[in-house]
A = this chain, B = another copy of it.
């Protein structure tokens, strides 16, 4: 493994912890990003020195984030994987996933709480929570507008123009 490839993989792995994904997932993602050709599970295990179990789970998870894709090679029984080639799509997919996993449950929980009939509706607490719910709902609509868009890179170009970044 050449030097820069290894350095990038370990760096990305350490950063993955900050990103809320674990080290293995981040290292595998980095490795696949840098491969010209599709890679199989066995290769991931051997090159990154991780167990088959871990690699299998991590690949599944990376796929659910939409940052890698499974491809079939003709004449091969094994599964092969490639990274999402469009960087903008990748960033948007990560953002969309994180919103879905982190923000949406919070909004949902808040709405459930406010929807209950059994709560003391005279309380100032309820007013404060209602206010928070409204703000979060608006944020949600705004986020959907951007993240739901398939043409990730085009929308960015639009924004760059509109806001003169």
Chain A residues near B (Cβ < 8 Å) = 2-5, 7-8, 11-12, 15, 18-20, 33-34, 36, 87-88, 91, 101-102, 105-106, 109-110, 113, 116, 118-120, 123-126, 128-129, 131-132, 135-136, 138-139, 141-142, 145, 156, 159-160, 162-163, 165
Contacts and interface: CB of A to CB of B under 8 A. Distances in A.
A15 B105 contact: yes
A147 B25 CA distance: 29
Copies of this chain, count: 2
A7 B123 CA distance: 14
Interface of A is mostly: helix
A4 B123 contact: yes
Contact of A18 (B2, B88, B102): B102
